[in-house]
Each structure stands twice: as structure tokens, then as C-alpha cells.
Amino acid sequence: MSYSTQLMMVLPELVLSLGAILLMLVAAWGGQQATKLVSWAAIAVLIGAGIALAGPASAGGEAFGGLYRPDMFGAVAKAMIFFAAAVSILIAPRFFQTSSGDDLRPEYPVLILLSAAGMGMMVSAGDLMSLYVGLELQSLAAYVLASFMRRDTRSAEAGLKYFVLGSLASGILLYGISLVYGFSGTTLFAGIADAYAGERSMGLLFGLVFVFAGLAFKISAVPFHMWTPDVYEGAPTPVTAFFASAPKVAAVALATRVAIEAMGPAIADWRQIVIFAALASIIFGAVAAIGQTNIKRLLAYSSINNVGFALIGLAAGGEAGVSSVLYYMAIYVVMTLGSFLVVLQMRGADGQPIESIASLAGMSRTRPGLALALAIFMFSLAGIPPLLGFFAKLQVFVAAVDSGLFVFAAVGAAASAIGAYYYLKIVKTMYFDEPAPAFAGKTDPVEGVLLVLAAAVISPLGWPLLGYLEVFTASAAKALF
Amino acid sequence: MTGFPILSLMLAIPAVAAVACLFSSANNARWIALCATLIDLALGIWLWASFDQGAGAAQWQFVEHVRLFGVGGVDFAWALGIDGFALMLIMLSVFLMPICVGASWTAIEKRVPEYMAAFLATEILMIGTFAAQDLLLFYVFFEGGLIPMFLIIGIWGGANRVYASYKFFLYTLIGSLLMLIAMIAMILNSGTASIPELMSHDFPVNWQTWLWLAFFASFAVKMPMWPFHTWLPDAHVQAPTAGSVILAGVLLKLGGYGFLRFSLPMFPEASAQFMNLVFVLSCVAVVYTSLVALVQSDMKKLIAYSSVAHMAIVTMGLFAFNHQGIEGAMMVMLGHGLVSGALFLCVGVIYDRLHTREIDRYGGLAINMPRYALLFMLFTMASVGLPGTSNFVGEFLGLMGVYKVSTWAALIGTSGIILGAAYMLYLYRRVVFGDLTKEDVRAMPDLNAREIWLLAPIAAAVLWMGVYPESFLKPMRPDVERLVERMSRAAPAGDSQPTAGKPAPAGEHHGATAAEDHQAPAAAHGEAH
């Protein structure tokens, strides 16, 4: 295969990397004034990368001797990632402008681009090395983003926590990778799968456990979730929205690919881990969220809870399972970004962001539209029909029941009722309580449009889209088998 | 899709009206809601009028089918269609809705547009639940109904509304989620989500047990059956009047409809297996909740407990596996929907005047509110099951059906009617009779025109059902026939063993024959009632 064909296969990442480097130069010379230009250019780059997905980047096959897999699975995950990254750039300026501390600097979109390039690498990795490099590129950019408000102690704390715990996770993952490599003799997923299919040594099993532990860290599944609430709370809200969406999709997709492509023959072994992590995440995410008073922490626990549901699809395995994971994540991304868009509107009279749940009291009377949107997202996250969150949950439960995991599905479903409780609490605060002082300021037009779009997609108006989603996720799942 | 999509239209009109309500003033919202519900009522009457009840009519009429999208390889279709059961329950819903809007006309003062929108959303979800022919679509409507009801109780309810709304929501949600898993299993086992096809699909008997239990978890809570009924008194007491009407009138019927539509025809063997469980729970419910109702000091709570007792007769009738039982259960559902709705309205009328539901605060209303006393008495008698009113027909048929299967269950179930008479008459005596000693009660005006317009149609319907139940039984009869035939392979042998009576030779005294043959159906009926 010629080198140029292979480069065409990695075109999305190429566009992102070159775009990021170029914009970094613009940022370096343009300084603070270039922020707006760089932001819009970064969005253009993301759109360009998204268009590039339609070409050889999703046609299947492999590039660079199997290091990279330009298949439909990666393409669908990347489409979600690029979309979430673009939204994270769009919602940033207003937040940094009104809140005290640093203004938005042009590094922000550049870091997001770099992170997106890393995520693209992650979800298309066909080898443990390219997996790790992609993961680190994503993580390093994310650590900086978490502490982007340099003068804000919470932001700095979040960045440091994220860095230390993330490095620990990377270490665990790397240890697992080295074990797998040591006992299988290869880092290529295909070769690893062969090793797992044959006589299995104890080392391979340990490698599997460590790899999954490292991945659980990245997707913030219980019991490796402890960094999530602190980081989500401390990071600037647009960055939190980013963390809860794009890297989440990337990590879940990565875990899916590793589980199916590299360790598929050992499904009986990793299924136990995934089932435990799924149920623990669902139950713990739900129970721990009940006592929260900060909306960003609550959404952090909600993301832990949601990852648990996505893992139900992974535990189911098979094509149906994989497609249900992507299906779940696609709807989850819209719901989460929508919720954070509402959080972004929570500002006091002085323009400072407010994060307490109590401040939402009576919002249905002070800001009815905003309250309706958040209520839609909350009911949807709780999985109540006819909102799209229900179909996402339905999809993973269908996959689980299809592979005979009846009890698992039933427990997961029953536990989702616990989660419903804290989502209801938000709705109750907005609709039943007496109004608190209204949030100040008008909604930014760009954010308003995004918010309306997200709410419309999640409402029954979004039903027509589900047909397309089904087709895309099904063909993505096919690529892994 | 065949013919005019009248069912979709019935769903679309409240949807459009709900959105319109959100964007209009309080007074406009009231009128929009009233018009929309009246149009739906008119469409419902049209539906009933054009429902083919003749011999050889199709089981499913007004069928619509559009595939929407796939979910995990399963088709999710906009499949609507009704049979006689669904027709009657849809009629009940559209009949009660304008009355609910009217009942909220002045009682609801704050956030009227949202209130009306929530009510219209409830109407969509109720009609949709009864009309859905796709398992997942059914679930979407069934479960979606929680959202507006949660808001209605929580925003416009009484002092303890938040607790009641949470309890209502979470209780019903947990039950339904188990049902969802069972539905997925059914779809994967049979390869179809179409309810008519599933109704003739034979599931393996060991599957049926689990599926039945999962459905039971949902419907028993919704119904509600003892001991899953505790959310109901809370929800009723806290909900605004119209919320209680719709809750008691229609939402409780979803559980009974579920048993009728899913548990019985889809899992006949499991239904037979669990028949005794249902009978025991129902018998406990009848006696226990009737006794609890007897000592209530809150009027709404009393009627709420009486609902649980009436619903227990429905479950017994349904699981009797025979014509009388099922027809009786349906009639009790319809009758109870009207009567309990009317009773909640009656409570609402005096609550609006005195703002208390304490029974002791009233007394002697017959003196200053004669029209109210008359209508309240009619509904009290109907609730007791007086012949000539709607509930008599249903309870008589239902208990007769139960007698054929289990004489003990029939005996205990019948005691509910006696206890029912006790608590209802006791309530009526304390509120309406006696001396008019309290000043504020004396100042209460009699029913105004609006309130008469709300109660009179229900009174007419209650009498119609009691005097000529054939209008309501006829559309359901072929469906009852099919259901009984479908379940016949699992029907349990009864302990009453009714045998055909020996026709007496001409001239012999009739009573003597009946006395000789204790097992004769005629005697059985006498004992059952």
C-alpha cells in the first residue's frame, strides 16, 4: 500500500494536527486578539476533519502495518467527538468573558484540537502503542484545559488532581500493556487476540485486568471514578462539558475496541469485570448523586451513572452490544452537552457563574424556556419515554437480554430507578419550589440555538433521527467483527 | 394504514393544544383545553359510532401502522388500533377529560397554561396507551404518563405534594422497568413487537412464569393491588381535584387493561399458575382496604381506599378465566372510573368552598345544598353497587365469574360490597345528614351551573350503564369470547362445579327446585351477591 493512500486514511487526524500546529503559530503571533479568529478557524478545522471521515478514513482496512484502523467504528465515534469538541469551543467565549479571572486565550481551541487528534488516534488504534500515544495526547491536552483558569484555585486544583490521577491510570494501563505484550509477544490487536484465543497464561489474564482497570479510570467507571466529581467541579464549565462528552466517547469507544478486537476471545473473563463495573457505576453514580448540592458535581455523578449503562452494552458483547454502546454514547453526548449549556446560563447579577442546585429553585417561573430544556434533559437522562434517553437505555437492555444476561439487565433497569430520583430532584427544584432570584443576563445567541437544538433532538421531535443513528451504529459495529 | 387515521388525530389534537396552551394567557389556555378535549370527545363518539360491532367484525379496527425506526434490531412502529376493550376505555378517558378541565376552571389559579398543557399531555398518553398495538409504543405511552402526572401532583397539589409526587413516580417506575426487560425478552423470543401477534404467540411455560411476574410488578403497582397500593392514598390526597379524577378514573385502569391485554392472553398458563396469588391478594385488599376506609377522617383518602377495594374485584374477575368474570371486571373498571371520578368531584365541590377535606368539619349539607346532596347520594349508591347503577352490573357479573372458580374468593369478595355500603353510607351520613350546626358550612352555596354541568353527564352515564349495560357490553363481547377461548387451555377447574339445572316439570313450584339443587347457577348467583 502506498504511503499516500495510508495518509489519506488518517486524513482526519492529519487535518487536526496540521490545523492545531498552524493555529498555534497564529496564536503565538496574534496574541489575545486572535482568540476569536482561532476559535472559528478551529471549528472549521473540526468540520474539515469531520468531512474527511467520509473518505478512505471510514472505508475499512488498515494503515501503517495495522497501527491504525480507518473503519466505520472509528468514524462514527470520531463524528461524535468532533461534534462535541466543536460545541465546547462554541460555548467557551461567553463563559470566560463574564466570569472573573482570565479571559479566553487562543490556546483553548488549539488544545481542544490537539485533544481531538489524540482521541481520533485512540478510537482508531489497532495497536497498543498507537492506543497509548493517542490516549496520552488527549490526556495531556485535557490536563491543561482543566486548569485553564490559572488564577482560579479550584481550576488549578482540578488540573493537578486530573494530572496525578490520570498519570496513575496511564501507569496502570501501561503496566497492563506491558504484561499483555510480554505474554503475547505482540502489541498488535490481531496478534493479541490470537494469543487470548489459544492457551491462556496467568500473565495474559493479569494483563487483561490491568488494561481494563486503566481503561475504567479513563471512562470513570466505579471503582476508578473518584477523580471525576472533583475535576468536573473545578474545571471551567465549558471544559467540564468537553470532559463529559468527547473524551468520554473516545474512552468508551477505545475500551470497546480493545475488548472486542484485542481481547474478544477472552470475553468470559472481561465480561465479569465489565458487569461489575457497570452495576457499580450505575448504583454508586446514582446513590452518590443524591446528596450533591453542586450541579456540576451532580452531572459528574450522572456521567458515572451513564457510563455504567454504556458498559451494559459492552458486557453484552457481539455486534448488537457494540452498536448499542455507540448508540448510547451518541444520545448521551447530546443530553450532557445540553445540560451543561443550561449550567452555563446560571449566572448571578455580577456575571459570576452559580453552581448550586438550590439556585435553580422556581426557574420554571423566572426562565420557563430554560427550565423546560433542563427538565427535558433530566427526564431523558433518567430514561423516561418518550425522550431519547429512553431509547438509548432500551438499546443497551435489548443487547443485554439478547445475549442472555437477563438478571444483569433486570438489576440494571431497577437501579436506573435510583438514578431517576436525583434527576427528579432537579425537576422538583425548578418546578415545585418557590422562585429564587432569577439568573441574570440573557442567553448568548449561539448558546441559545445550541440549547434549542439539543432539547428538540432529545424530545420526540428527534425520533426521525434515531433511524439514521441505528444504521450508522450498526455498520460501525459490523466493522469490529 | 387503512382509512382515516382517527386515532392519530385524537392524539394530535391534544398535542397541538398543549403547545398552544403554553404560549397563551390563563383564560385562553382554559378555553383551548376545553375545546381540544371536547373535540376529542366528539371524535371518540364518532369512533364508537363507527366501530363495527356486527358479527364477523374484525377484532382490530381503525388500524394504523407506520414503521418509525429500529431499536437494537427491533422495529419500533407507530401501530395503533383498537378492539372493544380499548374502545370502551378510550371513551372513558375522553369523557372524563372535558369534565376535568371544567373542574379545574376556577380551582386552579396559578400557572394555568402549564396546568392545562400537562392535562392535555396526560390525555395523549392515556389514549395512546389504550390504542397502541406495538409493545414498545405501548411502553412509551404507559411510562410517559408519569411525567405530566408527576408535575400535576407536584406543582398544583396539597401540602405534602412533593413526597406524594416522588412516591407516585418512583413506585410506578420501578415496576415498569422490570416490565420493560420482560418486553424485550418477549420481542426477542417471538421476533415481533406487534401486540396482536404476541397475543397469539405461545411462549414456553417456564418463560411465562418470569414474564408474568415482571408484568405483574408493573400492573400490580399501577392497579394498585394490595400491598403495592400505598402510593395511591398519598397521590390522591395531595393531587388537585381533577388530578384525582383522572388518576382514579383512568390511570388506575391501565393496570387492569394491562392484565387484560398482556398477562391473560399472552401468558395463560402462568396466569392460571398465579391465579390463587391474585385471589389472595385481592381478598386481602377487599377486606383490609375497606376496613381502612371505614376509619378515615379525610374524604379523599376514604375514596382512595375504596378504589383499591374496587380494583381488587376487577383483578379477581379478570383471573376468573370466564366470560362473566372478564365482562364484570371491564364493567367495574368503567363504572368505577365514572363513579370514583364523580365522587372526587363531589369532594372537590365542597373543598373549594371550605378548603378542608376533614369529614368532621361538614354535616347537614342536605339542608343548604339539596342539589349537591342528591347527586352525591346517587354516586354514593352507585359506589355501593345499588342495582340500577353502573357498579352493580360489574360487581354482580365479576363476582359471579369468581364464584364459578373459587367460592371462597367470591364469598370474601362479596363482603367488600357490604363493607363498601358501610363506609360509603357512613361518609354520606356524616357529611350530608345531621344538623347544620357549623356557621361556615351553613354559608356554603349550593352547586352552581358549572358544577352541575360537570356532575350531570356522569350521573346520566352511571344510570345508563346501570339500566342498559348492553350498550357497553356489546362492543366487548367478541373480544371477551376470543380471550376466554385463548385462555381455555389453561382454565382451572372451579370448586363450585355449577351444573345445569333440571328444568322443573310444569306446575311444580320453582323455589323447591332451586332449594334442592344447591349447585344450580341460580342459587350460585344468589349466594354470590
Chain segment B55-80, per-residue pLDDT in tens: 777 888 888 888 888 776 778 889 99
pLDDT digits (tens, 9 = 90+) for B451-507: 899 999 999 999 999 999 998 998 888 889 888 888 888 877 777 766 777 776 665
Reported confidence tier of residue B517, pLDDT bands at 50, 70, 90? very low
- Amino acid B521: pLDDT: 47
Chain B residue closest in CA terms to A388? B140
Q: B480: which strand partners?
A: none
CA triplet B350, B340, B237: central angle to 5 degrees?
60
CB of B187 closer than 8 Å to CB of B70: no
> Stretch B93-117: mean pLDDT, rounded?
89
Count the Cβ atoms, other than its own, within 10 Å of residue B278: 22
- Amino acid A309: pLDDT: 94
Chain B residue closest in CA terms to A417? B174
Burial label for A29, CB within 10 Å (0-12, 13-18, 19+), is exposed
Residue A446 has pLDDT above 70, yes or no: yes
Distances (CA, A) of B256 to A89, A136, B333: 52, 57, 8
Residues in chain A: 481
> Stretch A418-447: mean pLDDT, rounded?
88
Which cell numbers hold the place of B382?
Answer: 352507585
Contacts 24+ apart (CB under 8 A), B469-477: B469/B331, B469/B390, B469/B393, B472/B88, B472/B331, B472/B334, B473/B327, B473/B331, B474/B53, B475/B48, B475/B51, B475/B53, B475/B84, B475/B87, B475/B88, B476/B84, B476/B85, B476/B88, B476/B327, B476/B330, B477/B84, B477/B327
Distance from CA of B144 to the nearest CA of A (A): 5
Q: Where are the alpha helices (DSSP H) in A235-381?
A: 237-257, 267-290, 295-316, 318-344, 363-366, 368-381
pLDDT digits (tens, 9 = 90+) for A282-324: 999 999 998 899 999 999 999 999 999 999 999 998 899 999 9
Residue B527 has pLDDT above 60, yes or no: no
- Pairwise CA distance, residues B243 & B66, whole Å: 33
CB of A258 closer than 8 Å to CB of A188: no
CB of A308 closer than 8 Å to CB of A275: no
All residues of chain A having their beta carbon less than 8 Å from the beta carbon of residue B185 are 401, 406
Q: What is the phi/psi pair of residue A333, to 5°? A: -60, -45
All residues of chain A having their beta carbon less than 8 Å from the beta carbon of residue B143 are 384-385, 390
**Which string of DSSP letters, residue by residue, matches A171-239?**
HHHHHHHHHHHHHHS--BHHHHHHHHHSPPPHHHHHHHHHHHHHHHHHHT-TTS-THHHHHHHHS-HHH
Higher pLDDT, A102 or B377: B377
**Which string of DSSP letters, residue by residue, matches B32-44?**
HHHHHHHHHHHHH
In this predicted structure, which of A128-137, A221-230, B375-384, B482-491 has the lowest mean pLDDT?
B482-491
Residue B143 in contact with partner chain A when CB distance is under 8 A: yes
- Amino acid B356: pLDDT: 86
Spell A100-119 as b/e; 16+ CB within 10 A means b: eeeebbbbbbbbbbbbbbbb
In chain B, what percentage of residues exceed pLDDT 90? 36
> Stretch B240-267: mean pLDDT, rounded?
90
**Which string of DSSP letters, residue by residue, matches B195-206?**
HHHHHT----HH
CB–CB contact B188 A432 (8 Å): no
Task: Identify the H or E element spanning B65.
Answer: strand B61-71
CB–CB contact B144 A470 (8 Å): no
Distance from CA of A277 to the nearest CA of B (A): 20
- Pairwise CA distance, residues A94 & A92, whole Å: 6
Distance from CA of B365 to the nearest CA of A (A): 35
Nearest to B120 by CA among B151, B89, B160: B151
Q: Considering chain B, what is the average pLDDT of its residues? A: 87
Place of cell 368539619: B361
CB–CB contact A431 B151 (8 Å): yes
**Which string of DSSP letters, residue by residue, matches B266-308?**
H-HHHHHHTHHHHHHHHHHHHHHHHHHHHT-SBHHHHHHHHHH
CB–CB contact A398 B147 (8 Å): no
Residue B519 has pLDDT above 60, yes or no: no
- Amino acid A350: pLDDT: 81
All residues of chain B having their beta carbon less than 8 Å from the beta carbon of residue A466 are 68-69, 71, 76
Residue B185 in contact with partner chain A when CB distance is under 8 A: yes
Place of cell 495510508: A6
Residue B261 has pLDDT above 60, yes or no: yes
- Amino acid A198: pLDDT: 86
Residue A393 has pLDDT above 60, yes or no: yes
Which cell numbers hold the place of B462?
Answer: 352511571
pLDDT digits (tens, 9 = 90+) for A70-112: 999 999 999 999 999 999 999 998 888 887 767 788 899 999 9
- Amino acid B434: pLDDT: 83
All residues of chain B having their beta carbon less than 8 Å from the beta carbon of residue A379 are 147
CB–CB contact B69 A414 (8 Å): no
Q: B71: which strand partners?
A: B74
Reported confidence tier of residue B2, pLDDT bands at 50, 70, 90? low
Place of cell 459492552: A314
CB of B255 closer than 8 Å to CB of B206: no
pLDDT digits (tens, 9 = 90+) for B30-48: 999 999 999 999 999 999 9
- Amino acid A104: pLDDT: 83
Reported confidence tier of residue B520, pLDDT bands at 50, 70, 90? very low
Cα atoms found within 13 Å of the Cα of residue A180, Cβ hemisphere only: 30
Residue A240 has pLDDT above 60, yes or no: yes
* Closest Cβ–Cβ partner in B141, B147, B174 for A417: B174
Task: Identify the H or E element spanning B259.
Answer: none
CB–CB contact A470 B71 (8 Å): yes
Reported confidence tier of residue A213, pLDDT bands at 50, 70, 90? very high
Burial label for B2, CB within 10 Å (0-12, 13-18, 19+), is exposed
Peptide bond preceding A435 in cis form (omega within 30 of 0): no
All residues of chain A having their beta carbon less than 8 Å from the beta carbon of residue B73 are 320, 398, 402
Which cell numbers hold the place of A256?
Answer: 470497546
Reported confidence tier of residue B515, pLDDT bands at 50, 70, 90? very low
> Stretch B409-426: mean pLDDT, rounded?
90
CA torsion through residues A164, A165, A166, A171, sign: positive
> Stretch B219-234: mean pLDDT, rounded?
87
* Closest Cβ–Cβ partner in B73, B184, B210 for A397: B184
CA B515 to mean position of chain CA atoms: 38
Residue B512 has pLDDT above 50, yes or no: no
Q: Which of residues 427-486 of B touch A (CB under 8 A)?
A: none
CB–CB contact B181 A391 (8 Å): no
Task: Identify the H or E element spanning B361.
Answer: none
In this predicted structure, which of A432-446, B58-72, B425-439, B513-527 has the lowest mean pLDDT?
B513-527
Burial label for B338, CB within 10 Å (0-12, 13-18, 19+), is buried
- Amino acid A390: pLDDT: 92
Q: Tell me which residues of chain A have a C-beta less than 8 Å from any C-beta of chain B.
A: 320, 323-324, 364-365, 379, 384-386, 390-391, 394-395, 397-399, 401-402, 406, 409-410, 413-414, 416-417, 420-421, 424, 427-428, 431-432, 463-464, 466-467, 470
- Amino acid B1: pLDDT: 41
CA B466 to mean position of chain CA atoms: 17
- Amino acid A389: pLDDT: 92
Which cell numbers hold the place of B337?
Answer: 372510573
Place of cell 366501530: B51
Distances (CA, A) of B348 to A150, B232, B441, B455: 61, 17, 15, 11
CB–CB contact B144 A386 (8 Å): yes
Residue B146 in contact with partner chain A when CB distance is under 8 A: yes
Residue B169 in contact with partner chain A when CB distance is under 8 A: yes
